[in-house]
Structure formats: structure tokens, C-alpha cells
């Protein structure tokens, strides 16, 4: 892989910016989740925490009850004694990880519908689930789709990554939707693909182990 391709590929799972923050709790105090993905979130919270601190993040979203063990990787004070922190999900019960993916999928699906993006694409529970965690990256370059095998679900700047087992007809529909979408619609389509493969990568982690510190 060239240095330039490293720069354009996105190795982290994307986050969904929430227009209406989701109320919840963090470190047993009130919190507002303003951005969230399968690997972490941005949270406004009343209980101050130092970088490196671990605390439980709890929320109910799209009727899903979710509790995750999160570690603060960045924090800053905001108004009224609250803090805004970037957190990395350290571990989660299997049921909580599934609940997070379902809620994210429901939110992304609703946004795609609003943007009139064709959603006759995939069965979220089954179609895009990878076998042996192997993936294919589809890049739209100079008006032509190119594909290559990838060992990680890295997201290209122009295109998306899916499981190697993905049905070709579904990929063609994804490509058509990508070509017809605006930049935000394309970002949502990438996030939609990421959600369907995150369980194969154990994200959020379903067992506690020291996290890799990543910038948010």
C-alpha cells in the first residue's frame, strides 16, 4: 500500500453525529451522547473524569438498552460545570454490542431514507456478515469501480468496503446508490456497511482487555 493510499483510507470506524443528543448517564451522572459509533463516542457529562479513566456509559436509544465500559481519551470543560469527552469503548456484553449495532443501524437507515437513498440493498442481520473476516474494498476512481481484497475493513475516500461473501447484486446496488448520492449520503452508506461487519471484528469488544489508545 502506498503512502498516499494510507492517507485516504479510514482505518477507524466512523461516528454518527446526532442532531438530537441522546440522554443517558456516564460515571453514574447525567450525560448527553452527541456522537457515537461502534468503537467510541463523544459525550457531554456532569461528572468530571480524567484522561484514562474508565466508567460505564448507559443509554436507551431506539428502544435498545445499552451499557458499555468506556475509557476517556480526551476531555475538556464546557458550560455549567459539565465536560465534553471523547471515549473509546473498552468492553461490552455481547447483548449490549448487538443492541448498539441495531440502534446505529436504525438511525443510519432513517437518515438514508430521508436522503432518498435506495435501501433495497442488504439484510443487515445476514447478508453482509463476513466469513473468516475477509473483505473487499470497492473504490470509485475516474468514473470506474475498482476492487481489491482487504484483510481489514478499511474505508477508502471514494467507495466502501464489504465482506468478501457479499452478493454481487447487492454490491451493484450499493455502487449505484453511491454514484447517485451526495457526500453525506456516501458517508452514511459507508457507515451502513461498517455496521454489518463490526461484529466479526469484536467491536465493541465483548471481553475486557487493555484498549489501544486511538485519537478521536
User: Does residue 90 lie in a domain region?
Assistant: no
User: Does residue 26 lie in a domain region?
Assistant: no
Max CA separation in the chain (angstroms):
53
| 110: pLDDT strictly greater than 70 | yes
User: Does residue 132 lie in a domain region?
Assistant: yes
Distance CA 12, CA 72 (A): 17
- What pTM, to 2 d.p., does this model score? 0.59
Phi-psi region of 106 (alpha: psi -120 to 50; beta: other; left: phi over 0): alpha
Quote the pLDDT of residue 151: 60
Q: What's the average model confidence in pLDDT over 173-195?
A: 86
Least confident segment among 58-67, 118-127, 200-209: 118-127
User: Does residue 99 lie in a domain region?
Assistant: no
User: Does residue 19 lie in a domain region?
Assistant: no
User: Does residue 67 lie in a domain region?
Assistant: no
Give Cβ neighbours of residue 154 (< 8 Å, ≥ 6 apart): 9, 10, 11, 137, 161
| 47: pLDDT strictly greater than 80 | yes
Q: Which of 170, 177, 62 is nearest to 115 (CA)?
A: 177
Distances (CA, A) of 70 to 22, 23, 62, 74, 193: 16, 16, 20, 12, 24
More confident: 106 or 117: 106
> What is the arrangement of strands in the sheet containing 144-150, beginning at the earlier edge strand?
144-150, 135-141, 159-163
Quote the pLDDT of residue 9: 36
Quote the pLDDT of residue 55: 96
User: Can you give the residue range of the structural domain that contains 139?
Assistant: 108-201
Distance CA 105, CA 184 (A): 16
Quote the pLDDT of residue 214: 42
Dihedral over Cα of 105, 19, 201, 102: its sign: negative
Domain count of the fold of the chain: 1
Q: What's the average model confidence in pLDDT over 12-16?
A: 77
Q: Which of 190, 164, 165 is nearest to 177 (CA)?
A: 190
61 and 103 Cβ atoms separated by less than 8 Å: yes
Distance CA 153, CA 71 (A): 23
User: Does residue 61 lie in a domain region?
Assistant: no
**What are 66's strand-pairing partners?**
59
User: Does residue 123 lie in a domain region?
Assistant: yes
Distance CA 133, CA 153 (A): 9
Amino acid at each position: 500500500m502506498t503512502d498516499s493510499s494510507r492517507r485516504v483510507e479510514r482505518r477507524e470506524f466512523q461516528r454518527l453525529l446526532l442532531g438530537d443528543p441522546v440522554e443517558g448517564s456516564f460515571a453514574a451522572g447525567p450525560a448527553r451522547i452527541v456522537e457515537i459509533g461502534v468503537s467510541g463516542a463523544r459525550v457531554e457529562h456532569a461528572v468530571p473524569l480524567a484522561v484514562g479513566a474508565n466508567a460505564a456509559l448507559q443509554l436507551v436509544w431506539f428502544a435498545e438498552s445499552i451499557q458499555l465500559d468506556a475509557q476517556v481519551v480526551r476531555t475538556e470543560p464546557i458550560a455549567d460545570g459539565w465536560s465534553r469527552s471523547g471515549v473509546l469503548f473498552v468492553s461490552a456484553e455481547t447483548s449490549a454490542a448487538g443492541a448498539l449495532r441495531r440502534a446505529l443501524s436504525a438511525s443510519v437507515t432513517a437518515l438514508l431514507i430521508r436522503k432518498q437513498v435506495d435501501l433495497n440493498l442488504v439484510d443487515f442481520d445476514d447478508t453482509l456478515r463476513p466469513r473468516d473476516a475477509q473483505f473487499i474494498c470497492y473504490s470509485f476512481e475516474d468514473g470506474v469501480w475498482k476492487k481489491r481484497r482487504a484483510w481489514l475493513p478499511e474505508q477508502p475516500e471514494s467507495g466502501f468496503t464489504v465482506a468478501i461473501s457479499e452478493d454481487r447484486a447487492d454490491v451493484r446496488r450499493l455502487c449505484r446508490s453511491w454514484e447517485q448520492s451526495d457526500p453525506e449520503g456516501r458517508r452514511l452508506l459507508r457507515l451502513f456497511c461498517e455496521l454489518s461487519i463490526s461484529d466479526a471484528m469484536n467491536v465493541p469488544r465483548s471481553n475486557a482487555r487493555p484498549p489501544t489508545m486511538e485519537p478521536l
